[in-house]
Structure formats: structure tokens, C-alpha cells
Structure 1
């Protein structure tokens, strides 16, 4: 487990997997929010309706409840079909595609919908925006306001 070698798929290394599992879900949600908002403004992604924080998340794979967060977006199946989004359009919107380009391959009606992967979609030059959103999450998570 300490070696850095390709795994079965040979797309990702053990280092890639370790890195994503070290990232707080609140940080990944903030990255996704900025990316999704940019994609929507560019006309190539769904509108973000809300950011949500779930204080008591129960999952079959976790022995006890935990917290999580994510995005609520409009239903792309209700959007009109358009020409599929290109990688250049993603870059023009200020978003880097995911490492394996699944966001380009797995579109809904021509819109980008798949932001997560081991090395997921990332907003360009957005550290201050991402950090501000993540700080809001951390304040809520640590404050007990939703207790």
C-alpha cells in the first residue's frame, strides 16, 4: 500500500486515490459549486439551485452516521438538446475537465453533468472563491447551528 503504482484500471495511481480520500467533502463541494456555476453561465451546464449540508447522513457502507454536502441542480433531462459541449468550451468557461474526460463523454442533452471522478472537474484560478465557500461550510459544521 505504500508503493505508488497504477491500479487495475491503470488510469489512476494509488497516490491519486489517497489524495481524493484526504479531501474533505466540503472542499470538493465548493470546487463543484464554482465549476457548476461557471458551466451554467457559459450555457453548458445545469443551473445550481442550492448547496446543501446534511448533518446526519446514514449510508450502508459506514458503520455510523456522518455528515456530507453537495449540490442540487436543475434536471438536464428537461433542458432542450444542444450540440455536445467541447473541451474548448469547458476551458473557455474557466473549468478544467476531469482527468479521464468523463465530463465530455457522459453529457446529458449536450450539457456537462459529471463533475466527479478520482481527479474531477476543477475551476481555474478559483482558490479564493472555493476557500470562501468551504469556510462557510466549516463554520456551519463546527458551530452546531443545525443541531
Structure 2
């Protein structure tokens, strides 16, 4: 049986066939992706990154700095301390003492120039199973 591998490839430059543009991802209440990450806080963070890509990066999955994202959060009135919640590795679920720390897949890639890019897996999660959360 073949195991499915997760692509840690960053999305920069041309968008591969089958990868939706940021504006095509459906968001709940304008801020949160619809499922795909398994926890509301992570889906909210993901949705806000999608909005950032639409509004600041001209609807491209472009490299970004934390300063750019922080400024965007401040303009929107969001808490900058939640800027990458659940997207950078293990996270702790305070609501459940039984699950404790949870690992995530690779959603962000950092570069030596201090910039970040989201991965294809991030977009796939935002798009949902069979692209159910993609505007047609």
C-alpha cells in the first residue's frame, strides 16, 4: 500500500494546475476557512492568511514577511500574537488535557532572507476535500 506524502513545497511564482488562487477559497464569516485543519483557531489563522494573500499580495500565493502579516493584522484589528497559530509545528490544545501537544503538517516554509511561503498542503487543506471549499 502506498502512503500519501505531504508536499512541503512552497508556493511561489506560478501557481501549479489544480491549485486555486487565494480569492477562490471560500471563507466562513469572511475570516475562517471551512474545515480542513481540525481546530477552529487554526482555521481562523489560515483564513486570515488567505485574506492577506488576496488583499496584500494581489491574489497570489507570494512570499511574505512577518512584519507584513503583523501590519495586516493590526489594520484589521486582530491580535498579532495569534499570527501563525497552529501553522508552525506542534501546538497545545488547552481545551483537552488528554490530547496535549498536537503535531501539524508542514504549512509554512521559511527562507534565509527572513520571508515565509505557504505550502501546497496548506492550500489543499483550505480548499477542502475534492475542492469543496473552492469558488467555481
TM surpasses 0.5: no
Kindly indicate whether structure 1 or structure 2 has the higher relative contact order, using CA contacts under 8 Å at least 6 residues apart. 2
Report which of the two has the higher share of strand.
Answer: 1
Select the structure of larger CA radius of gyration. 1
Which is richer in helix?
1
